[in-house]
Amino acid sequence: MSAAPLRVVHYVNQFFAQLGAEEAARTAFGVREGPVGPGIGLQKALGDGGRVVATMFCGDDTAATDLPGLGAAVEGALRDLGADVVVAGPAFNAGRYGLACGEVCARAVAMGIPAVTAMNVENPGVELYRRRTYVLPTTPTALGMNETLGRLAHFAVRLGRAEPIGAPADEGYYGRGVRKTRILQRRAVDRALDMLAARMGGAPFRTELPLPAVDRADPAPPVADIRGARLAVVTTGGIVPAGNPDKLKQSNSTEWRAYSIDGLERLEPGKFESIHSGYDASAANADPNYVVPIDAMRELERSGAFGAMLPRYYVTVGVGTAVGEARRMGREIAADLRASGVDAVILTAT
């Protein structure tokens, strides 16, 4: 006995909703009954497995310039539509459309409705949304439309029926950036030696660890008036008051602390110590200013090289600390610094 067709809600941009091209890019969000544009092809590919009951649409500019707004509109619409699964796009190489599709699906997933979209690997929507929803690869242009609609339909039916989805490489979606340790068929050494043999022979090989892009920020604008600036020191070198009163961890940190240097001309050995487990702490314990250079900063504060020191410094420990934790701690410390009127920070790393 076959299951009832799934209720599928589709999302397209203004162009695929047949409302116009670039001139209609500021079309407001709306919902229409049934399939529109490529939704008709999607319906064909779904067959009896699903019915495109409604199509959400929005102008690419409207969407991309206010993704949270789009998300809120999508949430409102989906609450009334009774969707079993949401399909967005495909967006191919269209950047604004890709972001919109990603946001639509991410919102659906957050509401508990499975969702899938598709776009080309170059589309910025891939990197931003592949961790929050399923994103299938496509050709760069809409030449691949029919084939992509077929894959989207098939994937959507499996999602709607709550079938288990396997690994990205097997199922054909962009990896969600999550890596799990598993027992594989062959020993790691044999995999490595085979990879070496392949490289020696010029044969194709596939790395087991593609390196993700590094998260970079543009340099902040320079401090306009350094002689009047308020400065603070932040360290990952694990310098804490002697006895580690807050029991900061020696590695794999999840916490940071701020300690007072009010009235201190320098960090006195014996009053401060290093609890970092990744470097020889003998120099830092003999003179903590080697890691948190309060003595030099006080001298330059007095001579007017900069305005004033914040009367505390911030500390955590590196050593195996997860980047995600470091990012969060960084944001929290930055918020504290901003609230304290700090203009610039000297970070010290070990």
Residues 179-198 that bind other proteins (CB under 8 A): 179-193, 195-197
Q: Computed from CA positions of residues 197, 198, 202, 207, in that sequence, does the dihedral angle turn out positive or negative?
A: negative
Task: Answer whether 35's CB lies under 8 Å from 54's CB.
Answer: no
The residue type at 306: F
User: Can residue 259 be called a binding residue for other proteins (CB under 8 A)?
Assistant: no
Q: Which of 25, 116, 281, 315 binds other proteins (CB under 8 A)?
A: 281
Local structure of 9: helix, strand or coil: strand
User: Can residue 176 be called a binding residue for other proteins (CB under 8 A)?
Assistant: yes
Backbone angles phi, psi at 166, to 5 degrees: -85, -160
- Of 79 and 199, nearer to other proteins (C-beta) is 199
- Rounded least distance, CB 121 to other proteins, Å: 15
The residue type at 39: G
Q: Would you say how long the chain is, in residues?
A: 350
Q: Which of 203, 283, 334, 335 binds other proteins (CB under 8 A)?
A: 283
Q: Which of residues 287-316 bind other proteins (CB under 8 A)?
A: 287, 289-293, 295-297, 299-300, 305-306
Strand 257-260 with 312-315, pairing = antiparallel
Asked whether the bond before 204 is cis by omega within 30 degrees of 0, the reply is no
- Rounded least distance, CB 272 to other proteins, Å: 13
Give the interface segment with other proteins, choosing from 10-18, 59-67, 136-144, 176-184 (CB under 8 A). Answer: 176-184
Q: Which of residues 330-349 bind other proteins (CB under 8 A)?
A: 344, 346-349
Task: Write out the two tokens for 339.
Answer: 């609230």
User: Can residue 350 be called a binding residue for other proteins (CB under 8 A)?
Assistant: yes
User: Can residue 247 be called a binding residue for other proteins (CB under 8 A)?
Assistant: yes
User: Can residue 242 be called a binding residue for other proteins (CB under 8 A)?
Assistant: no
CB burial readout 41-80, b (16+ within 10 A) else e: bbbebbeebbbbbbbbbbbbbbbbeebeebbebbeebbee
Q: Which of 67, 119, 149, 248 binds other proteins (CB under 8 A)?
A: 248
Task: Write out the two tokens for 74.
Answer: 């999508």
Q: Which of 34, 76, 140, 320 binds other proteins (CB under 8 A)?
A: 320
Closest CA to 274 of 313, 309, 235, 301: 235
Q: Which of residues 56-85 bind other proteins (CB under 8 A)?
A: none
Task: Answer whether 234's CB lies under 8 Å from 347's CB.
Answer: yes
- Consecutive H or E run containing 328: helix 323-339
Give the C-alpha separation, 265 to 288, whole Å: 12
- Of 142 and 229, nearer to other proteins (C-beta) is 229
- Of 176 and 257, nearer to other proteins (C-beta) is 176
Q: Which of 28, 226, 242, 335 binds other proteins (CB under 8 A)?
A: 226
User: Can residue 216 be called a binding residue for other proteins (CB under 8 A)?
Assistant: yes
Strand 344-348 with 257-260, pairing = unpaired
- Of 79 and 328, nearer to other proteins (C-beta) is 328
Q: Which of residues 93-152 bind other proteins (CB under 8 A)?
A: 131
- Rounded least distance, CB 205 to other proteins, Å: 6
Q: Which of 68, 204, 263, 282 binds other proteins (CB under 8 A)?
A: 282
